[in-house]
Amino acid sequence: MDGQFSACDNSDLVGLVPSAVQQTAVVVEQEEMARDTFRLRLECPQIARQILPGQFFMLRPDDGSDPLLGRPFALYDIYTDESGRPAGIDFGYVVIGKLTALMADWKPKQEVQIWGPLGNGFPEPGDGHLMMVAGGIGQTPFLAVAREALALRQYGEPTRNLSERPSRLSLLYGVRSKEYVAGLKDFQSDGLEIQLSTDDGSEGHHGFVTELLARSLDNPADRPDKIFCCGPEPMMKAVGELAESHNVPCWLSLETPMACGFGICFSCVTKVKDDDGQWDYRRTCVEGPVFASHRLEL
């Protein structure tokens, strides 16, 4: 079944990213998580065995040519079979356009094309206080980050053993309104502190998630040692600026639109500052999607 890719066969090109595979995956289940927001489970053991928190994969329908190009989605988490072996992946998505509208109708047993794992993923969390800051669907990469940091799950092949674990782990999660809060029950774990904000005040802090971050940065008892962030670009820009002004290292996971996902089309370039201070363009799909915020011009 793998390699059958009639409308858009990327099987040779996927070889450009050594660990990536292209295969036919099978839809296992679909759950509505929040307004316009779904969790989709795909059976794809090979990718599930390898993928690391913060990495992503590309997805497209198995049949037809519309849309022709795959779309990128981040790992939410892997799931395992009865013997505890990785069997597939869960991811969360918001319906915004052509493919995501089709995906909302995908039913169990449907076959889809997937290639991955792709991208660099988040760095290891280290010790100290790791604060994850999420906006909207940007919360999805943090479930696997949190579960790995809390020693609830391991990822990668060979299995990654974290050299250090955070002494404190927190998630600041902001959405427009309470009907968009997605997956909160999945995140609820001993050892993970969660603060919620809504723009309209319908749940949690009334205001932007960046206000929660500013409050933590200003309070020595809550100040993070490291920030991981994913969300809409203006929010990530604000988080990067706050982190820099408080001298806290920060990594941003970019959601740049992508056409190929494995480095050949250059549709995903972003401006990145090199070690020598010079600006250059980097492909988000292979050199990201996670970048240290001080290297980016958002």
Ligand X SMILES: Cc1cc2nc3c(=O)[nH]c(=O)nc-3n(C[C@H](O)[C@H](O)[C@H](O)COP(=O)(O)OP(=O)(O)OC[C@H]3O[C@@H](n4cnc5c(N)ncnc54)[C@H](O)[C@@H]3O)c2cc1C
- State the residues that interact with ligand FES by CB under 6 A: 258-261, 263-268, 283, 285
> Residue 12: what are its φ and ψ, rounded to 5°?
-70, -40
Q: Which is nearer to ligand FES, 20 or 181 (by Cβ)?
A: 20
Structure tokens at 204: 């949690």
For ligand X, the closer CB: 148 or 255: 255
Owner of token pair 């008892």:
221
Binding segment for ligand X (CB under 6 A), chosen from 26-34, 93-101, 120-128, 205-213, is 93-101
Q: Which of 91, 180, 187, 251 binds ligand X (CB under 6 A)?
A: 91
With respect to ligand FES, which residue has the nearer C-beta, 227 or 260?
A: 260
Contacts by residues 177-181 (CB-CB < 8 Å, ≥ 24 positions apart): 177/202, 178/202, 178/203, 179/34, 179/35, 180/34, 180/35, 180/36, 180/37, 180/136, 181/34
Which one of ligand FES, ligand X, none interacts with residue 264, CB within 5 to 8 A by kind? ligand FES
Name the residue whose CB lies closest to ligand X.
97
For residue 257, state whether it binds ligand X (rule: CB under 6 A).
yes
How many residues bind ligand X (CB under 6 A)? The answer is 22
Which part of the chain contacts ligand X (CB under 6 A), choosing from 94-102, 107-115, 179-187, 193-201?
A: 94-102
137 is an interface residue for ligand X by CB under 6 A: yes
Q: Which of 24, 256, 259, 267 binds ligand X (CB under 6 A)?
A: 256
Residue with tokens 């809504």: 198
Residue 87 or 118: which CB sits closer to ligand X?
A: 118
The item of ligand X, ligand FES, none sharing an interface with residue 259, based on CB under 5 to 8 Å by kind, is ligand FES
Residue 245: phi and psi, rounded to 5, are -70, -20
CB of 254 to ligand X, least distance (A): 6
Shortest distance, position 288 Cβ to ligand FES, whole Å:
9
Q: Is the CB of residue 245 less than 8 Å from the CB of residue 159?
A: no
Q: Whole-angstrom Cα distance, residue 23 to residue 18?
A: 15
Would you count residue 260 as binding ligand X (CB under 6 A)?
no
Distant-in-sequence, close-in-space partners of 244: CB < 8 Å, separation ≥ 6: 250, 293, 294
Minimum distance from CB of 79 to ligand FES (Å)? 27
Tokens of 267: 């549709």
97 binds, among ligand X, ligand FES, none (CB under 5 to 8 A by kind): ligand X
Rounded distance between C-alpha atoms, residue 251 and residue 291, angstroms: 5
Question: What is 84-147 written as a DSSP string?
Answer: S-EEEEEEEEE--SHHHHHHTT--TT-EEEEEEEES--PPP--SSEEEEEEEGGGGTHHHHHHH
Residue 216 or 270: the one with the smaller Cβ distance to ligand FES is 270
Q: Backbone phi, then psi, for 228, in 5-degree steps?
A: -110, 135
**CA geometry: angle at 260 spanning 287 and 159, to 5°?**
55
Report what 283 binds from ligand X, ligand FES, none; CB cut-off 5-8 Å by kind. ligand FES
Q: Which two tokens stand for residue 108?
A: 């169990």
Q: Give residues 54-73 in contact with ligand X (rule: CB under 6 A).
A: 56, 67, 71-73
The binding site for ligand X (CB under 6 A) comprises 56, 67, 71-74, 91-94, 96-100, 137, 140, 255-258, 289
